[in-house]
Homo-oligomer: A and B are copies of this chain.
């Protein structure tokens, strides 16, 4: 059973990889025309897409999905318009393919030029939100990559409807047929997909910790890890109080469900009375559940005691855990131990401390006196992103079009041989 699924997917992947080779040669003009046509088709086909979405929603209700999950699954005319606009924005971005990244002349006169090229065929595994279907197709197409999409079972009809519309529009504009494939939403597809060497250049799991962990542990194709963010704000002894309050509230409250939201607050012991007290007031006032280390709990009886499991956890919710530290050294070691290498911030007025923190913290983005919420493809000016990489290999931080490419060396000679 699994083996026959693997064989079926292998055939799909082989075909998709062949089309992807052709896609790599398609110039930006055609890709941009296709992206704009895809946006138009999404608008034209909006009633049939919404109908498929209604089927998913009804089925989801029968299956007892939570209201949060149903809301993520739900498409509206506004959300569809957002997807169409996003495709148009991707069309307007600079094509990374063909960029000359560098080059030099070899002593024997060879010219060595490093050129940006697509990665190849990319597998994307994602969960509830059907808008990921359009975003992922758009970003992969623009960067010259083929894509095998595996969405959630609960969004099966919505995803199939969206990708059918987008594929038809793309192929009509000259995008090579077969380079976009929506795979069935079954869980078993994941296990097969992540072993499709050598057809898949890369697999990107977008979702919760358990999905990502499963993919990392079981994939034989290369993986781009995205998204888990157990982000810390460290309020140092010299921190400006108003700045600390503004940053902590923004990072925790503005959108608690995203990976760049703050999950932990570290405060220097000298700031317990001056800073921690008003910070606790703010957090309570915003309805945030506060957990804490023994010193925090001793200071404020409303704070629940945090367990060891809290310190490594990404809540993605209106919860924060607070730890009082004795020194910046302790804060740095704590973050490097419990952090997920996503985004970490210090609030300080001390120059040397700021330098020490940014040098020593091991994370994709390290902030001084700013909210962790800025780690985002849009905020970084990449225009769009497929996720935030928390790994060190290949891409670190927001993964935009450039991060979906690789390079090759083109070496031009006149008969040179190696002596």
Asked whether A370 and B413 contact (CB < 8 A) given A379-B106, A418-B254, A418-B379, the answer is: yes
Known: A371-B417, A414-B369. A362 touches B393 (CB 8 A): no
Which residues of chain B are near A374, meaning CB under 8 Å?
106, 110, 411, 416, 418
How many residues belonging to A are interface residues under a CB distance threshold of 8 Å? Answer: 66
How far in angstroms is the closest Cβ of chain B from A147? Answer: 15
Contact pattern, A 381-419, Cβ under 8 Å of B = 1, otherwise 0: 100000000011110110000000011111111111110
CA–CA, A103 and B250, complex, Å: 24
Check A240 against B415 for contact (C-beta < 8 Å): yes
Instruction: Tell me the bound Cα distance from A215 to B1 in angstroms.
Output: 27
**A358: nearest residue on chain B (CB-CB)?**
B410
Contact of A119 among B379, B393, B411, B413 (CB under 8 A): B393
Chain B residue nearest to A416 in the complex (CB): B370
A148 within 8 A of B: no
Is the pair A406, B396 in contact by a Cβ cutoff of 8 Å? yes
CA gap between A24 and B361 in the complex, in Å: 11
A251 surroundings in chain B (CB, below 8 A): 417
Whether A112 lies near B21 (C-beta < 8 A) is: no
Give the docked Cα–Cα distance between A220 and B411 (Å). Answer: 35
Majority secondary structure of chain A interface residues (helix, strand, loop or mixed): mixed
Is there a chain B Cβ closer than 8 Å to A306's Cβ? Answer: no
For the complex, is A247 an interface residue (Cβ under 8 Å from B)? yes
Q: How far is the CA of A417 from the CA of B110 in the complex (A)?
A: 50
Asked if A299 is at the interface of the complex by the 8 Å CB criterion, the answer is no
Q: Chain A, 12-40, contact with B by CB distance < 8 Å: what is the 0/1 string? A: 00000000010011000000000000000
Q: Is A273 on the interface with B (CB-CB < 8 A)? A: no
Partner pick for A364 among B220, B380, B409, B418, CB 8 A cutoff: B409
Query: Do A410 and B370 have beta carbons less than 8 Å apart?
Result: no
Cβ of A295 < 8 Å from any Cβ of B?
no
Give the residues in chain B near A24, CB-CB below 8 Å. Answer: 362
Q: How far is the CA of A240 from the CA of B414 in the complex (A)?
A: 10
Contact status A216-B201, CB under 8 Å: no
Q: Is A366 an interface residue (CB 8 A)?
A: yes
- Write out the residue numbers on chain B whose beta carbons fall within 8 Å of the beta carbon of A392: 119-120, 201-202, 222, 406
6 closest A-B pairs by CB: A370-B413, A250-B417, A373-B418, A243-B415, A392-B406, A394-B394
Name A residues whose Cβ lies closer than 8 Å to a Cβ of B: 21, 24-25, 104, 106, 110, 112, 119-120, 197, 201-202, 216-217, 220, 222-224, 240, 242-243, 246-247, 250-251, 254, 336, 354, 358-360, 362-371, 373-375, 379-381, 391-394, 396-397, 406-418
6 pairs from A and B in contact (CB 8 Å cutoff): A217-B220, A222-B222, A369-B412, A371-B416, A373-B418, A380-B409
